[in-house]
Amino acid sequence: MAVRSSGKERSRDRVPMVSVRYVDGSTCDIPFARLRAADFAESQPWRRVRSVHGMLHHSGDYASATTGGQVVHESRLELARLLLADFDPDVADIFAQPCRVVAHVNGRVRSHVPDFLLIMRSGTVRVVNVKPAERAQNPTIAEALAWPGRLVERHGWEYEVWTGANSVLLENVRFLAGYRHPGIVPAEEIERAWREVVDGEELAVAERRLASGGPREAARPPLMALLWSGRLTTDLARPLSGESLLRRCG
């Protein structure tokens, strides 16, 4: 005999839901309207990222300075967005494949796993999907990315479909990422560079002064560490060079 659901149950079944998986192996189903940033504490990616020889995607783990742990990515484009998030001083936490969203859309049950969830220091939450520009223009893919965005924005969070960035900027950030972890450059060398760098001077000038007569390349690591941390800035839309102007922040 068939069992009919009550109207209340049918209504609840149509509520957009989010499933979050935790490191202890448990899974929690949360109505989207009740979802909070705190629900992602101690969570793990919704699905495993596997790297198989010959596969077209380049998946892997990225050692994030922001999280202090590994963050998974499924493509080189995702890794590029992850690098920029790790470099952004406004980003406080990063979650890859943070959840599964299930909702009724135009009479169909749809599910979606976002690529990243960023928690900003301001408390804002940003959901990010990464797609190559040519694929994002495909009407079917564009629609598949649009309905989660509507849910996210109605919830008061930010939504981003990221298709890439300036190639010079990305190369500069990739280079600076080599200095992202504490201990790569001795803290005393970083603090000495911070005390002595002059606002508005060229990188080559700062290196020569810090090198004290030695090879100026030897003074480069602490300056790069300061650029990664955001204590110094320069125009990263242009290739880093000795002519790059350094600006002090804070």
pLDDT tens by residue, 59-71: 899 999 999 999 9
Segment 111-137, tens digit of pLDDT? 999 999 999 999 999 999 999 999 999
3-state helix vs strand vs coil in the chain, percent to 5: 35, 25, 40
The first and second tokens of residue 113, run together, are 């796993």
Enumerate the H helices of 37-118 as residue ranges: 76-87
pLDDT at 152 over 60: yes
Q: What is the pLDDT of residue 57?
A: 56
- Structural domains in the chain plus CATH codes: 11-162 (3.40.1350.10), 167-248 (1.10.10)
Is pLDDT at 86 greater than 60 in this prediction?
yes
Q: Which has more pLDDT, 187 or 7?
A: 187
Give the pLDDT of residue 138. Answer: 95
Burial of 140 (0-12, 13-18, 19+ CB in 10 A): exposed
Kindly indicate the confidence band of residue 242, based on its pLDDT and cuts at 50, 70 and 90: very high
Give the model's pLDDT for residue 50. Answer: 61
pLDDT at 14: 82
How much is the average pLDDT of 173-194? 96
Kindly give the pairing relationship between strand 125-130 and strand 158-162. Answer: parallel
Residue-wise pLDDT for 205-217, tens only, equals: 999 999 988 888 9
pLDDT at 51: 55
Q: E-assigned strands of 106-234?
A: 108-112, 116-120, 125-130, 158-162, 232-233
The predicted model scores a pTM of 0.89
Q: What average pLDDT does the segment 49-59 reach?
A: 59
Kindly tell me if the per-residue pLDDT of 83 is higher than 60.
Answer: yes
Q: Which amino acid is at 71?
A: V
The pLDDT > 70 percentage for the chain reads 91
Q: What is the mean pLDDT of residues 33-59?
A: 81
Q: Which of 57-71, 75-89, 131-145 has the lowest mean pLDDT?
A: 57-71
Give the pLDDT band of residue 13 (cuts 50, 70, 90): low
